[in-house]
Structure 1
Amino acid sequence: MYSVSLFKKIDFSKLSISGRAGVVHHSVENDERLNFYKTLYPDAESSRWFPTVGLSASYSTIFAEVWNVAGLIEAATEAPETEYLFIAVQKPMTKPNWSGNPKLNQPVRTTLRGSIGYNFFNFEAFATRVWNYVNLKKAVVETKPYTTYENVDAFMLGFNFSFYWRFIEMIAGYTNAQNTTNNTPLSEIPPLSISTKLTSPAIYNTVVYVKHTYNNAQLRVDETLNETTTPAWNKFDVGTVYNAGSFLISLEIENLTNTLYYQHLSYLRDPFSSGNRVYEPGTTVRFNFRLNQLL
């Protein structure tokens, strides 16, 4: 793979306009690999060129001296990743082979993004429309199952929220995504996530914190890819940090209540995974010592 690109940005007082143009080349110089792809794609080629173009405009301003407002509109073409085009993993018996799709079209994306912020919080909403989004696909050739890739159209709508005030930190995010080609939920989309951290005032250079992480259940799954739902979970972490200036000592306990949970989407796109869910670690204790300067 190699690529060449040019980028230009023009700044005005509150408006910025940027553009880029380039080309990406993917290839696989192996006749045996090419024959493997031709099992699914008879007219597969060993080399692909993709022109890439992008144009965006962003605007930001401050009003009433405390409110920050920003917006972005962007349109771009991108090259598929090398893996999506030319991965080749053969597996024994009834386990599916993984095959790239050398015939993939390049994704075309348009994005509209807006945000509003105050001294201690920021809220961002976004909408993205993608044509030729690269999605997983199941296939069968003479009883042998395959996992490969295909182009679909998709739409994504979501938000990000952050709040920082004195001893409180909160971060939240959510994305709703739809495969508009097949009218099904888009696969591998994380659920609503909220993280809240409370930190004590420093007393004798020592702070104590408690962190809570919540992941909502993900019920929007693509059943045609054998994607399964994920239940909601809560996790607590606690810790204390002593900072003496020249050195720092911390004691952290992750997953304090030894919650049994797993992340959504952690294995679908991994051709070397077992295909089974992997639970996250239980209670983990960490002790750290760090020198902040040479003695």
Structure 2
Amino acid sequence: MFYVHKSVMATILLLIVVVSPAFSATTMLEDINVRADRQVPTEESLTIREVMESPARDLGEALESIPGLNSVNKGAIANDIVLRGLQGDDINVFLDGVRLYGGCPSRMDPPSFHFDFAEVEQIKVIKGPYDLENPGSMGGMVNAITKQPQPGPAANLSLTLGSFSLLDSSATASMASETGDLLGGYAYKSSHSPMDGDGKRQLEVYAPGTPHSYIIDLDSDAYKIHTAWIKGGYNFQSNVRSELGYSYQDAENVLYPYLFMDAEYDRTHRVNWTLKADKLDAAVDAVDFQLYWNQVEHLMHDKFRTSSTNPMVAVNNKTYSMQTDSSTSVYGAKAKGDWLIGSGKLTTGIDYYYRNWDATNEALFGTYVPQPMLPDIDVNNFGAFAEYSQPLAHSFKLKGGTRIDYTIAEANALTQARLDSLYVTNVSGSNLKNKNDFTNASGNIQLAWQVIPELELFSGIGLGTRTPDPQELYIGLNRGSMGPSWLGNPNLGSTLNRQIDFGAKITGENFFLNASAFYSALQDYITLTEDIVVSTGNSAKTYQNVDATLWGGELSSQLALPMDFYLRGSLAYVRGENKDKNQPLAETPPLNGSVSVRWDNDSYFAEVTERFAAGQDRVDSDLQEQTTAGWAVTDVKAGANWENWSLAAGVNNIFNIYYFTHLSYQRDPFASGVKVPEVGAFAYATLSYNF
């Protein structure tokens, strides 16, 4: 059945390319024009309008509509972003350029978890090492951009209701004048655990009575999240503006069935200040300054699982068999200037960020002795960058630049005695230290050629780097007889990505096609491994540098048809190889894509979408990674816009297909090893009012 679906979709995608010149529609969807006019093959964008038409609960789920982006499903919410097979610290995720980190060592709360859609107007994505303004964008960058107040008073009220008691509500209000503006909002969302295509809750992936099965009511909330924010701006002059914003988020009892534990709370504070001056003189196009701070407090445990009912738990006067209390904080600064030099523009800047990450674990590994799981780790990063763009002749545009970073990482609470007794005896290596420094250089050259008005070609060569993150360097969890320990590797080196990209963008009066291909050679790529130290016989899950390759590409197209119909299609493929072991790279998504037909006359719309993925049999056998079967599901939605009101409603997976995405399974010490099925038939409706 899946292969029939796949053949039909491939035929439709081919028809998009072949027959598009034959149609001449007069009405175009706004995003066709945006993608045709502003984007290059390595860049994508997603507007909040597109998000509001979907039942996406978080950024990771919403970005799956962009070719080349996937997500890791851990439960009802908090999907982690995967870009061309890279995830975690291999890519950067920002909000208004602010660097965010989660508190959980198992990435329960990825950076995109810590803000609400109601704050956001647009999400921009850069694929590949072409972001020089921020350290660590080795594989790409995702930046969510918050809403700006419109002139005069304005407000937005939004309510989404859906299956499994889904509730997503928000209210935003603003006031703006020539002098200044103020914007504030509040959002609340909650849901029960979703059901899969077999009619079971995601919480039921474990057999009753087994250690990780749930002992709570299966109709309990899978999450409850409150978010509030306020932002004010002042215009000193028509070309000089300053903004100051603050946000607080409180997430309660977030359930993660694919992990051993769940989060009791995540409490997040965010502060961001910017100052921008435009058109200061003939040579200075813009000057920007930014200061920011954010903090996350995270507590996770197994109180909701059968494992917490072990008789020894009560003997030790505890309510859990394992618990981790962690916190992380970041503050940073950036100064940037745009200088007009000849017919081109030079962008230069300096930046700095400080990150602290600390986590203490208690578990029934014989006794409840607290362990410095993340031993009060400090990271200081100092960076500088320069980038120049220059039109060449009439149809060429050249852009290139470089960046250098110096990073110091230090585990303040990691003693030499613990290094010698735990890390050295469980991780291959010697002369381990609790402090490391790294110097990394990156850069790229990009060339765009407007061959004819309807055809633009793109090529890019990039060198991207990223330092090992604090967890990869210094995490330490001695699990005793309960299984392999989980240890960082202080001898890790920085990852270097040498990447080449090619792309083409074809546009017409009623048509847009974006095609791209890439090849990445990853030197010292950081991957998880289970290692046995020959001298001791001890086993530990740890991290190692390997050489790897990733290659693939994306195709997306939109076509305006007669009578207000529109056809869309996308395909994405990535193939990863661990060159050191001559085997597939772990956690690589398979071929996937979508085809949709939409009718839209600006007042009303209806759409049918087929989403699909091929099976993935290229797995890392050393990590016991499992193969995944292919699947195809159908989504339908419709909506209307009446003056200040808008309504969107639909059903995802309307045929209630039971399936798994390949990235629903992860191997870290707190992962259960059980695949989490995707959501079955899911109905939703969103009503919004703007004034």
Q: TM-score, normalised by structure 2?
A: 0.41
**2:442 corresponds to 1:54:** yes
- Does the CA contact (< 8 Å) of 2:426 and 2:538 recur in 1? no
**2:520 corresponds to 1:128:** yes
Alpha-carbon displacement from aligned partner over 1:144-184 (angstroms, at most 9, x marks no partner):
64211111101111011110112112121101111111111
- Does the CA contact (< 8 Å) of 2:664 and 2:677 recur in 1? no
Alpha-carbon displacement from aligned partner over 1:96-118 (angstroms, at most 9, x marks no partner):
32211111111122100010110
**Structure-2 residue corresponding to 1:37:** 423
SS in 1 for 2:471: helix
Alpha-carbon displacement from aligned partner over 1:171-229 (angstroms, at most 9, x marks no partner):
211011111111111111100011112111338x2211111111110111110110111
**2:171 corresponds to 1:171:** no
Following superposition, the deviation at residue 143 of structure 1 comes to 6.6
SS in 2 for 1:31: coil
**2:642 corresponds to 1:264:** no
SS in 2 for 1:224: helix
The size of the alignment, in residue pairs, is 292
The one of 439, 453, 473 equivalent to 1:85 is 473
**Structure-1 residue corresponding to 2:645:** 247
In structure 2, relative to structure 1, the CA distance for the partners of 1:240 and 1:93 (3 Å cut) is farther
Amino acid at match of 1:161: L
| Runs of at least 5 residues in structure 2 that lack an aligned partner in the other structure | 1-378, 392-396, 561-565
CA distance in 2, matches of 1:25, 1:275: 34
**Structure-2 residue corresponding to 1:187:** 586
**Structure-1 residue corresponding to 2:458:** 70
Following superposition, the deviation at residue 269 of structure 1 comes to 4.7
Following superposition, the deviation at residue 82 of structure 1 comes to 2.0
CA distance in 1, matches of 2:652, 2:641: 20
CA distance in 1, matches of 2:481, 2:642: 60
SS in 1 for 2:664: coil
SS in 2 for 1:18: strand
**2:677 corresponds to 1:279:** yes
CA distance in 1, matches of 2:456, 2:633: 33
CA distance in 1, matches of 2:537, 2:678: 35
Backbone CA RMSD of aligned residues: 1.8
83-92 vs 55-64, which deviates more?
Answer: 83-92
**2:468 corresponds to 1:95:** no
SS in 1 for 2:473: helix
- Does the CA contact (< 8 Å) of 1:53 and 1:78 recur in 2? no
- Does the CA contact (< 8 Å) of 1:185 and 1:221 recur in 2? yes
CA distance in 2, matches of 1:36, 1:266: 31
**Structure-2 residue corresponding to 1:24:** 407
**Structure-2 residue corresponding to 1:201:** 600
**Structure-1 residue corresponding to 2:386:** 8
Following superposition, the deviation at residue 240 of structure 1 comes to 1.0
SS in 2 for 1:12: strand
Amino acid at match of 1:191: P
- Does the CA contact (< 8 Å) of 1:89 and 1:271 recur in 2? no
SS in 1 for 2:622: helix
Amino acid at match of 1:102: P
CA distance in 2, matches of 1:71, 1:269: 36
CA distance in 1, matches of 2:386, 2:573: 32
278-287 vs 93-102, which deviates more?
Answer: 93-102
**Structure-2 residue corresponding to 1:148:** 542
Following superposition, the deviation at residue 139 of structure 1 comes to 2.1
Q: TM-score, normalised by structure 1?
A: 0.93
CA distance in 2, matches of 1:219, 1:249: 41
Following superposition, the deviation at residue 25 of structure 1 comes to 1.7
Identity of aligned residues (%): 26
Following superposition, the deviation at residue 270 of structure 1 comes to 4.3
Amino acid at match of 1:135: T
Amino acid at match of 1:182: K
Amino acid at match of 1:6: A
Amino acid at match of 1:81: D
Higher relative contact order (CA 8 A, sep 6+): 2
**Structure-2 residue corresponding to 1:158:** 552
Q: Specify which structure has the higher proportion of helix.
A: 2
- Does the CA contact (< 8 Å) of 1:86 and 1:100 recur in 2? yes
| Runs of at least 5 residues in structure 1 that lack an aligned partner in the other structure | none
40-49 vs 212-221, which deviates more?
Answer: 40-49
CA distance in 2, matches of 1:87, 1:268: 18
SS in 1 for 2:425: coil
CA distance in 2, matches of 1:161, 1:90: 46
CA distance in 1, matches of 2:479, 2:680: 32
**2:611 corresponds to 1:226:** no
CA distance in 1, matches of 2:478, 2:596: 45
Following superposition, the deviation at residue 272 of structure 1 comes to 2.4
